[in-house]
Amino acid sequence: MSESLFVRPDSTGSFFEWAVWSDSQRRVTEAGMQSLTEPAGEIALKVSGRRHTIILPASFYSFQHVSYPKKVRRISPDVLALFCEGRVASDIESFRVSLLSAKGREADLAMIGKEFLKNIFARLADFGINPDRVLIDALLLPLPDEPAPEIMSVVRECSGFLVRRGRFSGTYIDDSWASAFFSGLSDKMHVTVLGEDELPDFRGKVQRKPGLGRLIEYFPGASEKKKGIYQEAPSGKKRSSILKNQMFIEWIPAIVMLLIFMTAGVVSGITGAVRFDRENQFLKSDIAKRAKILFPNMPSSADPMSYLRGQLKHRPVMSSSGFLLSMAEISGIFRGFPDVKVQSISFDETRGFVIHVSAPDYASIERLGNSMPGSYQVSFGDVKKGDKETETDIILRREVQKEGGRR
């Protein structure tokens, strides 16, 4: 019989609730509570042979909705979190960030302190609980049946209300400020109340659904089809995707050159990607992050750009696939095409280096691509024609040298 163990720590960090979900019976078969400060009781018999799902309180998280410019082509939680600077009290680097949704040029993030999360997992590990997935309690509450611009789900819990606001935000409202919270909501807010509890001073539309009983017994069924906001590696450390295979490691020197190429602005056309202060700061911050990953021994006081340039002097700029991206060659070519602007540069293991460019016409882009040194294989991506500009990708791969000459 396939079963899962669901664990939900309380917001005070003093105990956790648990429930065993049976896949075959499609219901909770056992449930209980365990103090975090006392020896393991019944829970000790429930951890072995079952998948572990951790349901964390929404109050542990900061939920952020961000908009980002078109020039940001590498969509990842850590990159998007840079647009939250100034919104949160702590340094962005101190948060574990999960991407809840990305659509168009907008994204929803869930942020939690790394050390805080590490401490939670460590305390649960003492009871043999290691998460296969992590969910957020408020985001498991059902949304109103009727579509509306503003929606919310509320359930009474202990001395307050667990609230889901929209699809990607939630929190816990204590009784002491519940009246101020609900009275401040728009009259257009459509609220689903799970149970018969009244919302203090709320004037909007209310839809009621049957109460859920103990929430820990409701969450397993509500989360059946959810993958979780992230998974934690067994060691407690996520393996860096930038170093996940040997082929990519061999590309490190070329990537370093690419980063320097972007920030130093050696290509006049690239100013289109860094002309705004915010985007410039974003690039610098992203490069600093990558530098720390590529060179873990880099002194914390070192300037990332200076350090990377120094590394180039001591590393051969070559990969086992034979691809060598010489920024000196490319920068000189771009200077001859001032109408072509570089919007972004990315690396793809299959395609090579992809330079996304825009120009008043496709002919300028084609002439630029055809002007690349003969040592490169040059191809072009899909063309997008606008009213004033044409966009496409210039794809560069170093031709592989074989014995007896070029291929």
Q: Where are the domains of the chain?
A: 1-140+211-238, 241-406
Whole-angstrom Cα distance, residue 242 to residue 294?
8
Q: Both ends of the chain: CA-CA distance in Å?
A: 58
Report pLDDT for 306. 66
Q: Is the pLDDT of residue 135 over 90?
A: yes
Report pLDDT for 17. 92
Are 31 and 22 within 8 A, CB to CB? Answer: no
Q: If you search the block for the tokens 């168009």, which residue do you land on? A: 104
Question: How many other C-beta atoms are found inside a 10 Å radius of the C-beta of residue 17?
Answer: 19
Q: Is the pLDDT of residue 122 over 60?
A: yes
Whole-angstrom Cα distance, residue 8 to residue 19?
9
Band (155; pLDDT cuts 50, 70, 90)? very high
207 Cβ contact list (under 8 Å, min separation 6)? 144, 145, 146, 190, 191, 192, 193
Are 269 and 341 within 8 A, CB to CB? Answer: yes
Portion of the chain with pLDDT greater than 90, in percent = 20
Q: Is the pLDDT of residue 272 over 50?
A: no
Report pLDDT for 8. 94
Read off the tokens for 327: 């920024």
Are 30 and 19 within 8 A, CB to CB? Answer: yes
Q: Is the pLDDT of residue 137 over 90?
A: yes
Report pLDDT for 340. 86
Please name the CATH architecture into which domain 241-406 falls: 2-Layer Sandwich (3.30)
| Higher pLDDT pick, 174 / 76 | 174
Whole-angstrom Cα distance, residue 104 to residue 70?
9
CB neighbour class for 169 (10 Å; exposed up to 12, middle 13-18, buried from 19): buried
Q: Is the pLDDT of residue 327 over 90?
A: no
Q: Which of 156-160, 169-173, 251-255, 320-324 has the lowest mean pLDDT?
A: 320-324
Q: Can you point out the beta strands (E) in 175-232?
A: 190-194, 205-209
Report pLDDT for 402. 47
> How confident is the model over 60-75, as a mean pLDDT?
82
Side-chain-side CA neighbours of residue 401 (13 Å)? 11
Question: How many other C-beta atoms are found inside a 10 Å radius of the C-beta of residue 240?
Answer: 10
How many helices and strands (H and E) does the chain possess? 11, 20
The stretches of 86-228 forming alpha helices (DSSP H) are 114-125, 175-183, 215-222
Q: Bridge partners of 405?
A: 402
Single-letter residue type at 331: S
Portion of the chain with pLDDT greater than 70, in percent = 69
CB neighbour class for 35 (10 Å; exposed up to 12, middle 13-18, buried from 19): exposed
Q: Is the pLDDT of residue 241 over 80?
A: no
Q: Is the pLDDT of residue 236 over 90?
A: no
| Higher pLDDT pick, 294 / 108 | 108
For the entire predicted model, the pTM comes to: 0.57
**Beta strands 51-56; 3-9: pairing state:** parallel
Band (248; pLDDT cuts 50, 70, 90)? very low
Phi and psi of 94, rounded to 5°? -85, 0
Read off the tokens for 66: 């961000």
Band (230; pLDDT cuts 50, 70, 90)? low
Q: 35 by DSSP, 3-state: which?
A: strand
Whole-angstrom Cα distance, residue 114 to residue 37?
22
- How do residues 372-398 score in pLDDT, each as one tens digit? 877 678 888 888 888 888 998 888 776
Report pLDDT for 265. 41
| Higher pLDDT pick, 275 / 115 | 115
CATH of span 1-140+211-238? 3.30.420.380
Report pLDDT for 281. 55
Mean pLDDT of the chain: 75
Q: Bridge partners of 165?
A: 152
Ranked by mean pLDDT, the top range of 156-165, 202-211, 267-276 is 156-165
Are 295 and 311 within 8 A, CB to CB? Answer: yes
The helix or strand, by DSSP H or E, that contains position 240, with its residue range, turns out to be: none
Report pLDDT for 263. 43
Band (369; pLDDT cuts 50, 70, 90)? confident
| Higher pLDDT pick, 297 / 8 | 8
